[in-house]
Amino acid sequence: MQVKKLADLDVRGKKVFIRADLNVPQDDAGNITEDTRIRASIPSIQYCLDNGAAVMVTSHLGRPTEGTVGPDDTLAPVAVRLGQLLHKPVKLVSGWVDGGFTVEPGQIVLLENCRCNKGEKKDNEELARKMAALCDIYVNDAFGTAHRAEATTHGIARFAPVACAGMLMGAEIDALSKALHEPKRPLVAIVGGAKVSTKLTILKTLADKVDQLIVGGGIANTFLLAAGKRIGESLAEPEMVREAQQVMDIMKARGAEVPLPVDVVVADEVSALARANRISVDEVGPHDRILDFGPKSSARLADIIAHAGTIVWNGPVGVFEHAQFAGGTKMMASAIAHSEAFSIAGGGDTLAAIAKFHIANDVGYISTGGGAFLEFLEGKTLPAIAALEARFGG
């Protein structure tokens, strides 16, 4: 994927419009409870400020009604946090689409919640052209919204004088391309989660590419059903058994495999107090719920990961929130942390597991995009990236 990169451009004296992803969680009083996304946006902003650009930054926040900025929709708390991180004042500008505000080289303004503008979500061309007229260079640094064609992620990229990827977006594109388009073999994918139906496209796409496809959670239970195993009252989708079988057949035809668990951890309920039993997969009783991989299966996965060249990780293999069902995910996380392979991880539950087992510094690349990460794995074209690719030559 060829896109212009911010770091390759001369921004001195230029008006730069950065679409960042500053959609951070807040408490009822409006205080920011977790600022990872704001921190992740700093490198692109700092680069532009250090090199004498006049910087405008915008983002969406929450799910506002277009045309109004309610008290829950304002980026005001984000402006304060951004100012603290940059050690300089960040002015918040409302009603900015038609201009009427000033920003000097070396200064930064935050443009109020872009999803409050009428036409943003529908990628309105008139809105996109007005925003493009505000800048000399458009920078998309919001990978988390790359799978949506909106005015600030797609339309503006068509009409701005120059359109490029920011530091974060560029790193995402490079990491995902490295993992999926030119992977060092063996390529191992880990896909966990509750439902085969929500991950079916990914599983089928990966089945054509990977050497080992590790499935976990409810997905693994559906695959066990497809392999003729009894799963008791475990979370599964019996109606997806045929699709699971197809994925295994695609892999088998290529000499690849889906390594299913040989032992599991079961309980009669999902709770912190549930009594966990480790049993062979052939001993699952009618009222058992499979909630994790057993030690033999976990050790086998760790061995597969140890010999991998590239690892793509999306989803835990068990209910890792409870200690007695965390063993499989913990062993897998440890194996990824100790592996020499290039690893890329993404998705909310995966990020929670990485945080819980303290391996963030040992994962090759942690993707900031949930939906965008999944759609990239599915092989879909992401509109925001396609718009930047279209502008690569001009």
Q: Which residues are annotated as a binding site for (2R)-3-phosphoglycerate?
A: 37, 115, 148
Q: Which among 249, 373, 225, 393 is positioned nearest to 312, based on CA atoms?
A: 373
Q: Which among 12, 2, 61 is positioned nearest to 35, based on CA atoms?
A: 61
Active site residue 230: no
* Cβ contacts of 381 within 8 Å, gap of 6 or more: none
Binding residues for ATP: 199, 321, 347-350
Which residue of the set 5, 14, 19, 37 is catalytic? 37
Active site residue 275: no
* Cβ contacts of 386 within 8 Å, gap of 6 or more: none
* Alpha-carbon span 71 to 116, nearest angstrom: 12
Which residue of the set 195, 229, 296, 300 is catalytic? 195
Binding residues: 21-23, 37, 60-63, 115, 148, 199, 321, 347-350
Residue pair 353/333 in contact by the 8 Å Cβ criterion: yes
Residue pair 21/368 in contact by the 8 Å Cβ criterion: yes
Beta bridge partners of residue 187, listed in sequence order? 310
* Alpha-carbon span 1 to 31, nearest angstrom: 38
What are the backbone angles phi and psi of residue 172, rounded to the nearest 5°? Answer: -60, -50
Which residue of the set 83, 370, 371, 379 is catalytic? 371
How many helical (H) and strand (E) elements, i.e. helices and strands, does the chain have?
13, 14
Binding residues for substrate: 21-23, 37, 60-63, 115, 148
Which residue of the set 67, 100, 348, 394 is catalytic? 348
Active site residue 252: no
Active site residue 232: no
Positions marked active-site: 37, 195, 348, 371
